[in-house]
Amino acid sequence: MSDTDWIALLKPGDKVIIERGYGGRLNNCIRTIDKITPTGRIKICSEYFDSRGYEIGEKSAWTPRDNLAQWSQEIEDIMIENAEKIKLASRLNNFVGFSLLPIQALRDITEIVNKYSKPPESAQ
């Protein structure tokens, strides 16, 4: 069985992951298949994918074509958790009021950060 055999089993209403690569970063999303044409093209929103899972159409040299990946609940849960991590980390990165917090709050935050921080490379 090849890596893309699962694509032949898809039907309208199935979930898939659209892998989008922009600037060296992945920006994956989960979408539902709208239609599969008689020629095997897969329509999702306004995009079409071929029977191998590659987006059909022209893209610029700076924007690679999207491709489909197999969906699972486990992968969706991981994607949701990662999105929340990014949102929370961004909120912490943008928080400028640390100096206004009570000393005990700063100690508690520092303890949590130290618990999950890796030691510096030179200390290993």
For 59-111, write each residue's pLDDT tens digit. Answer: 777 778 899 999 999 999 999 998 899 899 888 888 878 888 999 999 999 99
Q: Determine the pLDDT at residue 81.
A: 93
Q: Determine the pLDDT at residue 98.
A: 85
Q: Does 19 reside within a domain?
A: yes
Question: Closest Cα to residue 51, out of 4, 114, 13?
Answer: 4
Q: Does 122 reside within a domain?
A: no
Q: Does 82 reside within a domain?
A: yes
- pTM, entire model: 0.73
In whole angstroms, what is the distance from residue 81 CA to residue 76 CA?
9
* Structural domains counted in the chain: 1
Q: Does 60 reside within a domain?
A: yes
Q: Does 123 reside within a domain?
A: no
Residue 31 and residue 18 in contact, taking contact as beta carbons nearer than 8 Å: yes
Q: Determine the pLDDT at residue 124.
A: 53
Does pLDDT of 22 surpass 70?
Answer: no
How many degrees, rounded to 5, is the angle at CA 9 between CA 80 and CA 33? 50
Percent of the chain clearing pLDDT 70 (strictly above) = 91
pLDDT band of residue 25 (cuts 50, 70, 90) is low
Q: Does 76 reside within a domain?
A: yes
Q: Determine the pLDDT at residue 97.
A: 86
- Of 9-23, 48-62, 70-84, which has the strongest mean pLDDT? 70-84
Range(s) of the domain holding residue 18: 5-117
Residue 51 and residue 40 in contact, taking contact as beta carbons nearer than 8 Å: yes
Q: Does 85 reside within a domain?
A: yes
Distances (CA, A) of 54 to 12, 25, 51, 90, 101: 17, 18, 8, 32, 51
Q: Determine the pLDDT at residue 1.
A: 56
